[in-house]
Amino acid sequence: MKRLFCGVDFGTTNTSLALCDGARSWAIPLDTHNDPATSLPSLLYISSEGDKIVGRQAADAFIARNVDREVKLRQMDLGVDVEAYVGAEPDKSDAYNPALVDTNVRHAMRARATLEVNSPGRLFQSLKTLLRQPSFKNTEVFGTKYQIEELVAYILDAAKKRAEAETGAPVEHAVFGRPVRFSEEDAENTLAEQRLRTAAELVGFRDVVFFYEPVGACVEYAIDIEDRQRLMVVDIGGGTCDVCIMEFQGGGAVTDRLASSRILSVAGTPVAGDALDREIIRTKLFPLFGSRARYGPSKLPMPQHIYNQILDWQNIYKLNTEDNINWLLAAEASSNYPEGLRALRCLIRRNYGYLVAREVEAAKKRLSHEEATHITVAHEDIAIEELLERDEFAHIIETILERMLESIVEAETRAGLQPGALDFVLTTGGTCLVPAVQAMLRERFGAERLRSRDTFTSVATGLAVVASHAF
Ligand X SMILES: Nc1ncnc2c1ncn2[C@@H]1O[C@H](COP(=O)(O)OP(=O)(O)OP(=O)(O)O)[C@@H](O)[C@H]1O
Where along the sequence are the contacts to ligand X (CB under 6 A)? Answer: 11-14, 128, 213, 237-240, 272-274, 361, 364-365, 368, 429-431, 433-434, 456
Q: Which helix (H) or strand (E) holds 308?
A: helix 304-310
> What minimum distance in Å lies between the beta carbon of 442 and Mg ion?
22
The reply to whether omega before 36 is within 30° of 0 (cis) is yes
> What minimum distance in Å lies between the beta carbon of 363 and ligand X?
10
CA distance 459 to 462: 5
CA distance 429 to 273: 9
By CB under 5 A, residue 237 contacts Mg ion:
yes
Please choose which of Mg ion, ligand X, none residue 239 contacts, taking the beta carbon within 5 to 8 angstroms, the exact cut-off set by kind: ligand X
> What minimum distance in Å lies between the beta carbon of 404 and Mg ion?
14
Q: Which is nearer to ligand X, 4 or 131 (CB)?
A: 131
Which amino acid appears at position 405 of this protein?
A: L
Q: Which is nearer to ligand X, 17 or 111 (CB)?
A: 17
Q: Which is nearer to ligand X, 321 or 368 (CB)?
A: 368
Task: Tell which residue, 160, 188, 187, has the closest CA to residue 174.
Answer: 160
> What minimum distance in Å lies between the beta carbon of 277 and ligand X?
7
**From 11, 216, 290, 353, residue interacting with Mg ion (rule: CB under 5 A):** 11
Please choose which of ligand X, Mg ion, none residue 272 contacts, taking the beta carbon within 5 to 8 angstroms, the exact cut-off set by kind: ligand X
CA distance 39 to 100: 59
C-beta separation of 67 from 74 below 8 A = no
CA 408 distance to own-chain centroid: 21
Near Mg ion by CB under 5 A, which window of 11-19, 45-53, 293-301, 385-393?
11-19
> What minimum distance in Å lies between the beta carbon of 109 and ligand X?
38
Please choose which of ligand X, Mg ion, none residue 430 contacts, taking the beta carbon within 5 to 8 angstroms, the exact cut-off set by kind: ligand X
Please choose which of Mg ion, ligand X, none residue 167 contacts, taking the beta carbon within 5 to 8 angstroms, the exact cut-off set by kind: none
Near Mg ion by CB under 5 A, which window of 31-39, 306-314, 429-437, 439-447?
429-437
DSSP codes of every residue in 4-45: -EEEEEE-SSEEEEEEE-SS-EEEPP--TTSSSTT-EE--EE
At 235, give phi and psi (nearest 5°). Answer: -115, 105
Q: Count other C-beta atoms under 10 Å from residue 90's C-beta.
A: 14
> What minimum distance in Å lies between the beta carbon of 40 and Mg ion?
12
Binding site for Mg ion (CB under 5 A): 11, 237, 429
